[in-house]
């Protein structure tokens, strides 16, 4: 139990810790959020005499899933949008949970996790597990073994019928649009495996993919715009300068950007808005010497 609770914040007080000592807090909470709800948990550590503060915070994001199958896999970060866009320079943290819903104790459990070809195995870090286990990698298959785990069934003790493991791994340097899939097969003793849900991520940022890569074009994100910034991705197939212009319905210029290069390629530009823009319909135009491309932008509050 926490030492105190204020609103939705839990507090623990630790008097002292020895060098290298680890303390662990496991929070079990009944979820009342709807399915597919995006949640975020933040952890902050306040210490006295700490000379390095950046590693004193951590954030975990996830999606509320249903109770159809208690054996599942979750990934953090979830990624942006329905395609789960992520940069390829950050690790993906995986969490695998399993539960014995049978009628007797499970003695040995093994979990086989096929690592996507776009993962860099050299960056694998196995972090935590609910019970003692050992693992190995065989031909890009990550194998976890919980020997003599003695996991009771959920009818006898629900909380003690659950186990988990966590690990992280980095994607390789790969092209925008590359999709990385991941799931796991869970074996309870001699039973057939239970396959978890499949998580997936797309390398890149929203707007980095184009229907025709051979044409000058641009995308932007988000739309509608509810903040003071949008990210614009330009795909140039010709060597020339270009401009990006935001206008209102009367044609008045609200904001604009100009390119600094005359080279074909993909370029990303953040467009910031110093003044609050009224909600409504606006137009974003990519102007080149060859053609102009205009798309509708919706600003909302």
Q: Kindly report, residue by residue over 43-63, the tens digit of the pLDDT.
A: 878 877 777 666 777 777 766
What is the model's pTM?
0.64
How far from 8 is each of 44, 57, 137, 231, CA to CA, in Å?
14, 17, 40, 32
Domain boundary (169, 203, 237) is at 203
Mean pLDDT of the chain: 85
How confident is the model over 211-219, as a mean pLDDT?
81
pLDDT digits 0-9 by tens, 79-120: 877 888 888 788 999 999 999 988 889 999 999 999 999 999
Asked if 110 and 148 sit in the same domain, the reply is: yes
Domain boundary (203, 225, 254) is at 203
Determine how β-strand 199-203 pairs with β-strand 85-86. parallel
Confidence (pLDDT) at 198: 93
Confidence (pLDDT) at 126: 95
Asked if 192 and 230 sit in the same domain, the reply is: no
- Better-scored residue on pLDDT, 169 or 102: 169
Asked if 119 and 150 sit in the same domain, the reply is: yes
pLDDT digits 0-9 by tens, 1-40: 788 888 888 888 888 778 777 777 777 666 666 666 777 7
Confidence (pLDDT) at 111: 97
Asked if 103 and 194 sit in the same domain, the reply is: yes
How confident is the model over 212-225, as a mean pLDDT?
83
How confident is the model over 118-123, as a mean pLDDT?
93
- Better-scored residue on pLDDT, 293 or 70: 293
What CATH number does the domain containing 252 carry?
2.60.40.1930
Total tally of structural domains belonging to the chain: 2
Confidence (pLDDT) at 146: 97
Confidence (pLDDT) at 67: 43
Q: Is 23 a member of any domain?
A: no
* Band of residue 181 on the pLDDT scale cut at 50, 70, 90: very high
Domain boundary (168, 203, 238) is at 203
What CATH number does the domain containing 166 carry?
2.60.40.740
pLDDT digits 0-9 by tens, 253-273: 999 988 877 778 888 888 888
Residue 221 contacts residue 203 (beta carbons within 8 Å): no
Confidence (pLDDT) at 199: 93
Confidence (pLDDT) at 268: 81
Residue 86 structure tokens: 């992520």
How far from 294 is each of 218, 266, 286, CA to CA, in Å?
9, 18, 6
How confident is the model over 126-133, as a mean pLDDT?
95
Domain residue limits at 158: 60-203
Q: Is 37 a member of any domain?
A: no
Confidence (pLDDT) at 136: 96
Q: Is 249 a member of any domain?
A: yes
Confidence (pLDDT) at 68: 42
Asked if 96 and 178 sit in the same domain, the reply is: yes
């Amino acid at each position: 139990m926490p030492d105190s609770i204020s609103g939705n914040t839990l507090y623990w007080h630790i008097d002292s810790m020895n060098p290298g000592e680890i303390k662990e807090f496991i929070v079990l909470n009944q979820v009342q959020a709807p399915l597919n709800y995006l949640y975020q948990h933040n952890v902050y550590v306040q210490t006295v005499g700490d000379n390095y503060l950046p590693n004193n915070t951590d954030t975990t994001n996830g999606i509320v899933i249903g109770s159809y199958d208690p054996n599942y896999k979750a990934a953090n970060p979830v990624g942006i949008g329905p395609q789960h866009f992520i940069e390829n320079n950050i690790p993906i943290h995986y969490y695998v949970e399993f539960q014995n819903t049978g009628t007797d104790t499970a003695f040995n459990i093994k979990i086989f996790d096929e690592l996507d070809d776009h993962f860099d195995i050299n960056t694998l870090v196995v972090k935590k597990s609910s019970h003692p286990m050992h693992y190995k990698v065989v031909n890009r298959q990550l194998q976890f073994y919980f020997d003599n785990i003695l996991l009771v069934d959920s009818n006898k003790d629900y909380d003690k019928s659950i186990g988990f493991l966590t690990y992280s791994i980095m994607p390789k340097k790969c092209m925008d649009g590359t999709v990385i899939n991941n799931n796991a097969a869970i074996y309870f003793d001699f039973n057939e495996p239970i396959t978890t849900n499949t998580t997936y991520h797309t390398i890149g940022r929203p707007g980095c993919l184009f229907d025709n890569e051979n044409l000058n074009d641009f995308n932007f994100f988000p739309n509608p715009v509810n903040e003071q910034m949008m990210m614009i991705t330009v795909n140039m197939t010709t060597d020339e300068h270009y401009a990006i212009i935001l206008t209102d319905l009367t044609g008045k210029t609200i904001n604009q950007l100009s390119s600094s290069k005359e080279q074909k390629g993909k370029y990303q530009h953040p467009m910031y808005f110093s003044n609050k823009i009224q909600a409504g319909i606006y137009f974003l135009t990519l102007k080149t010497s060859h053609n102009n491309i205009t798309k509708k932008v919706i600003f909302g509050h």
